[in-house]
Structure 1
């Protein structure tokens, strides 16, 4: 029992002082990725989150699907899902939670953080003040946890603001912007005018479910009464739920920081008014047994402050795919701006303009130009309002934040401030450390000197020579144009045979296409076109292109739309090979092509996108000469996903015991082995609501054994589903070589490994 008598003096809350190496403020995907990355490099990290769960807008409190460059698989960014920690999280979530339950995603994030012994996690803890050492350095932050009535004073040499509104950067005095720049400031032709608005608003969603009895609904007095105040109310369907209502947006004309409660109140009115409309208007049939399952009470914020870093990204960097020497991540979401009036606007809920491929994001945009020991992460990084329309999405934010965590480890190790990583070649160290954890920075391979594999002789029991994609599937009707995406070799003419079924005699146009930029997947260049006469019935059609590509890259073997024709599919799937279609994906403003108005600096081009599995199949074909892009020499080339070529060793399906043999001329001491597997970097792993056809990606090697040449088993794994397997040895193994034996993922998918990293 505790009894404390009256005191004349004011009582103070309990205060806890913590000293760490690195403090991350904000527990959304950005803060989580920054903290885990730093912690795994031995950095004592404090993660401060003002909510009871991690994940920010991706958490069960908001329930927005997390996405990045893959953009619902509706753009031309092939194999572009982000790597590293954010990939590990997304893959883990699909494995445990392919149905997209937001509660399960909460647990995935909490487990990832709680498993790191170098992270101290403070949930329900809100930063309210900071202290500075001098004008340009932060000494400590002060935070309060309302659940345990505790004040925290947290000190460190390095801080990362990933808080969304930038509470620490703001209080530290860092330069920031709110709203849109003029067209003139950066020459951004897509910059909005005042009538469109300068800020994106907040959103809240609701979930429904059907029960086995009628449920009445009496709307609260504050619910929106006149549904016609929502110009887009006619697109509402009774089966819509969750972030299908992403356009329930409000607040773009208000102060999106200090008026958040007012914005939330308006969104609550909208939600309960819309549900009243669905249940009680008489406009919808079969709603008697529908009830509300969940309503958001925390608004998902899109935009508030953006802080000025050492470089500010702009529209041209994204659409022109500007290269940066200090690139540490990439983006690929569209320039996605919304009308400030949100749900009450007569305009479309968003205006999205895509680049032809992914783009670099520079390290400098994550470093405050004013506060020497402060990193920026998440949606507050240094970008214009227009560029922010792309960089703001959650997986892109988490991806970039991994670089902040890794940079913090280098700063600790080498006694540097964030900006000093740009000096004396340290940026190369940062890029390589990131790539060794799966970052896949564009055009930056893993440094060959950091991988013992590159000192070895490598051989394989077999390698695919792609002469045939087996004709063992169904018929694909060519309602839209389709293309087989293949890693072609420079200056090589290829011939093809495909099986066709026609309902009547007709003409089929076939084309060889490529992207103007070799590393893109926008096939705007037609190298050759041929017209083939097709008879009624089933037949094999052969054609040879006289044209060839002038460099190793992905070519499009294209079959133009013809509703009279079907083409044979294949059940065989293979790393680095896929089919795309000149199709439509309304979720990313894709109706088959991008046709922007003149004068906004945006390119016109076609979209060639994949079908989601289980529909996603290859086109069956014979190929002559065989494509030799899946050889063992790809192991150790530094690339860990398809890019310009397959970059994978792929075993022949006929090989019942596929294996790699890595042999050195002398004995080596090995302390760690990393294997990079194929978890389908083209599949958008939306975290909630969408659902996925598999819990393990079909390309992923699940079972393997690593042994020394002396037949000592180092590691035997069964049931793998992750992209990167890192085997850290308790004691160094001294050997002259390794044998890696793998099993094919299935009868229709050959085993593949992108990279083996040995150190």
Structure 2
């Protein structure tokens, strides 16, 4: 047996998505990182060992313009290119390569942390056993991040934590039980099948559960075409100790899986003769255990009220998603969901221990009530929390701050670092004093100023109220729709304010009108709605149902525009996963519409400062059609020369497109069309001479860093878009410039 000592700036325990993103986030800030994972592969519940899909703020399309950016966004986009079929082993490779690409990270797989040392209330080291190599490794760091899911490191260090469900009275949460208990969400084992092309016999093991003696066939959906996460409801252990009883839980879950498979193969109720079992999990995917207590405990009210935290570092959007403690054997529905009206914020004060000064936490173990945990627990949200912790650990160390001091006294340092990393944070304007672009004047060779989609691809009867989200800047002075009218009628149209920049539902009525429309086909009708919001905002235009009217649809929609149809859900649909009165329609498509007058929604100024993702509008520069301006340019000009050392270009990776690693949702494009494929950067010196700064070809990424070989004194910077990946116009979210 060997005994080793490893010294680094940060030790991250746990190699799931939270731990991966924490390690990468810190490494990119210049910290040395030891990433310690107790399994042979990275990814945690998303890995090929467990195979849970990576859900996040998009909530399977319930939330809009919500896909994560930052490191999690990079992983989504790269996986979409490398692994459009959703192969779980290829996903493992995407994660492994992302970690190995960072020279500041040292990865320790198969290393199970079991003990730690403390001094004066702080962790000084953690020690793990590396299976297979028989090494005992002690990791020394000034700070540690517990991204282990179960929270063993924090527990061993004496960090305060909660398990189970708090009483309703503690936080006045309507979804909390009246009486507290130790019940949690249970664990899950999944399985995959395939068609063998010929009959395959299945002889069930003696321990297989006879599910006909349970409520499973009546209360759960079993289908021959279902695989993997379609069986998320194979859950058990919520009334036990999820960690202490892990072996018992695994055995019971496998018995249930084999019982379901026996039912599919041998009950005679399914066409399953040619199906065979391809894979069954051996590692239970845990949902819940310890939740550490930080300086802020996130609650149901924070989530549903979309509380505006000054120290926000990430956002979520998944529903509050809670399951019955009895799991697969429960007589009630397998889950209940309460969606916030849009994405909500998560504060830094929920990401560290309030009593262990050098312990960061990220993943499903953050400081949240059981009810709020029901939404923060999904893996893409855990990932963005991990990135926030990684960045925070480096920023705090660089400035000699504790986690609490960074969150409460010097948070502007964290805010600037998050923006520079393109992290998943909402409502944060770029006012970074280090960003030279903020002092520049920005101009473009062209800007798309008259929003219009005019080519019809078909019609849709106005059988129900139909809403269009339309970004407005600075004002709306009317619009037109292309319609067919069976008989003369009066069409009522309303304009609503969603009230929050990250929301896309009609809330407050601003204006309405009734338009008399004569019978006829392909008529452009003028709708005299008007609105001048105090700041750029989204308007929700509602076309009221009218049996005499059909609206013309288009194959495309402009950035920032989406469409929702109203429905009256049945009472038993309340609190189901997709429960919403307004459902997304015309995905990747839209209506034929023309906006009256010019708009600044896509102006060149959007590319400097402002927001780096949709927030009260798409927040990007967009050129005119490439057919008219084939190589559009974006210029930044300074009144006096500046010393330039680095340029960061952030492109549009269409965060409305839902990308899931195991592809519960399929996306048609391996590379997102809205990304620039080819572009060039040039800088002008004080003498007026232009010289290359960078050139990108065959791009498929959102964020590109250009570090100059040597600093230059420049008076202007120009980006020339040479080609997109299919979009008809050039999109640029942000151009940032920094000194050496």
Aligned residue for 2:596, secondary structure, equals: strand
Measure the CA separation in 2 of the matches of 1:58 and 1:662: 42
Aligned residue for 1:379, secondary structure, equals: coil
Measure the CA separation in 2 of the matches of 1:51 and 1:583: 46
Task: Identify the residue that residue 201 of structure 2 maps to in structure 1.
Answer: 216
Q: 1:674 to 1:531 in 2, by over 3 A?
A: same
Aligned residue for 1:152, secondary structure, equals: strand
Answer with 183-192 or 480-489: which moved more: 480-489
Measure the CA separation in 2 of the matches of 1:197 and 1:475: 54
Do residues 257 (structure 1) and 216 (structure 2) align?
A: no
Contact 1:573 1:748 in 2 (8 A): no
Aligned residue for 2:433, secondary structure, equals: helix
Do residues 678 (structure 1) and 657 (structure 2) align?
A: no
Do residues 24 (structure 1) and 12 (structure 2) align?
A: yes
Q: 1:669 to 1:525 in 2, by over 3 A?
A: same
Contact 1:312 1:383 in 2 (8 A): yes
Answer with 63-72 or 479-488: which moved more: 479-488
Contact 1:30 1:377 in 2 (8 A): yes
Deviation at 1:529, TM superposition (A): 3.8
Aligned residue for 2:388, secondary structure, equals: helix
Measure the CA separation in 1 of the matches of 2:672 and 2:492: 34
Answer with 475-484 or 238-247: which moved more: 475-484
Deviation at 1:567, TM superposition (A): 2.0
Q: 1:73 to 1:196 in 2, by over 3 A?
A: farther
Task: Identify the residue that residue 241 of structure 1 maps to in structure 2.
Answer: 227
Task: Identify the residue that residue 405 of structure 1 maps to in structure 2.
Answer: 390
Do residues 428 (structure 1) and 412 (structure 2) align?
A: yes
Measure the CA separation in 2 of the matches of 1:507 and 1:210: 55
* Aligned counterpart in structure 2 of residue 101 of structure 1, from 87, 100, 103: 87
Task: Identify the residue that residue 513 of structure 1 maps to in structure 2.
Answer: 496
* Aligned counterpart in structure 1 of residue 603 of structure 2, from 628, 631, 635: 631
Deviations 1:423-476 (A, max 9, x none): 54x211111101111125222212242211122222110001124223243333
Contact 2:211 2:263 in 1 (8 A): no
- TM normalised by structure 2 equals 0.94
Aligned residue for 2:285, secondary structure, equals: coil
Answer with 42-51 or 644-653: which moved more: 644-653
Answer with 15-24 or 681-690: which moved more: 681-690
Task: Identify the residue that residue 116 of structure 2 maps to in structure 1.
Answer: 130
Aligned residue for 1:235, secondary structure, equals: coil
Do residues 414 (structure 1) and 393 (structure 2) align?
A: no
Q: 1:157 to 1:610 in 2, by over 3 A?
A: farther
Answer with 21-30 or 324-333: which moved more: 324-333
Figure out how many residues of one structure are paired with residues of the other and give that number: 727
* Aligned counterpart in structure 1 of residue 69 of structure 2, from 60, 83, 96: 83
Contact 1:582 1:609 in 2 (8 A): no
Do residues 444 (structure 1) and 425 (structure 2) align?
A: no
Q: 1:674 to 1:548 in 2, by over 3 A?
A: same
Deviation at 1:711, TM superposition (A): 3.0
Deviations 1:343-394 (A, max 9, x none): 1111111111011122111101111011111101111011110111111111
Aligned residue for 1:265, secondary structure, equals: helix
Task: Identify the residue that residue 687 of structure 1 maps to in structure 2.
Answer: 661
Deviation at 1:594, TM superposition (A): 8.4
Do residues 43 (structure 1) and 43 (structure 2) align?
A: no
Q: 1:261 to 1:371 in 2, by over 3 A?
A: same
Matches within 5 A, 1:1-16: 13-16=1-4
Answer with 176-185 or 731-740: which moved more: 731-740
Answer with 333-342 or 532-541: which moved more: 532-541
Task: Identify the residue that residue 4 of structure 1 maps to in structure 2.
Answer: none
Do residues 740 (structure 1) and 724 (structure 2) align?
A: no
* Aligned counterpart in structure 1 of residue 702 of structure 2, from 713, 723, 743: 723
Contact 1:573 1:618 in 2 (8 A): yes
Task: Identify the residue that residue 353 of structure 1 maps to in structure 2.
Answer: 338
Deviations 1:182-232 (A, max 9, x none): 011111111035699831000111111112211111111111113341345
CA RMSD of aligned residues (A): 2.3
Task: Identify the residue that residue 643 of structure 2 maps to in structure 1.
Answer: 669
Aligned residue for 1:673, secondary structure, equals: strand
Contact 2:306 2:343 in 1 (8 A): yes
Contact 2:211 2:260 in 1 (8 A): no
Do residues 156 (structure 1) and 141 (structure 2) align?
A: yes
Matches within 5 A, 1:169-318: 169-192=154-177, 198-233=183-218, 235-285=221-271, 287-318=272-303
Aligned residue for 1:277, secondary structure, equals: helix
Answer with 181-190 or 666-675: which moved more: 666-675
Unaligned runs of 5+ in 2: none
Deviation at 1:748, TM superposition (A): 5.2
Task: Identify the residue that residue 7 of structure 1 maps to in structure 2.
Answer: none
Task: Identify the residue that residue 543 of structure 2 maps to in structure 1.
Answer: 559
Q: 1:106 to 1:605 in 2, by over 3 A?
A: closer
Measure the CA separation in 2 of the matches of 1:535 and 1:248: 56
Measure the CA separation in 1 of the matches of 2:235 and 2:519: 53
Measure the CA separation in 2 of the matches of 1:505 and 1:740: 51
Deviations 1:646-694 (A, max 9, x none): 3211100021121011222332221111111111111221110323211
* Aligned counterpart in structure 2 of residue 469 of structure 1, from 448, 453, 460: 453
Contact 2:478 2:530 in 1 (8 A): no
Aligned residue for 2:510, secondary structure, equals: strand
Measure the CA separation in 2 of the matches of 1:467 and 1:399: 34
Measure the CA separation in 2 of the matches of 1:357 and 1:593: 23
Measure the CA separation in 1 of the matches of 2:488 and 2:187: 55
Deviation at 1:753, TM superposition (A): 0.7
Contact 2:675 2:724 in 1 (8 A): yes
Contact 1:571 1:748 in 2 (8 A): no
Deviation at 1:304, TM superposition (A): 0.6
Contact 2:143 2:393 in 1 (8 A): yes
Deviation at 1:539, TM superposition (A): 2.8
Matches within 5 A, 1:467-546: 467-489=451-473, 492-502=475-485, 508-532=491-515, 537-546=520-529
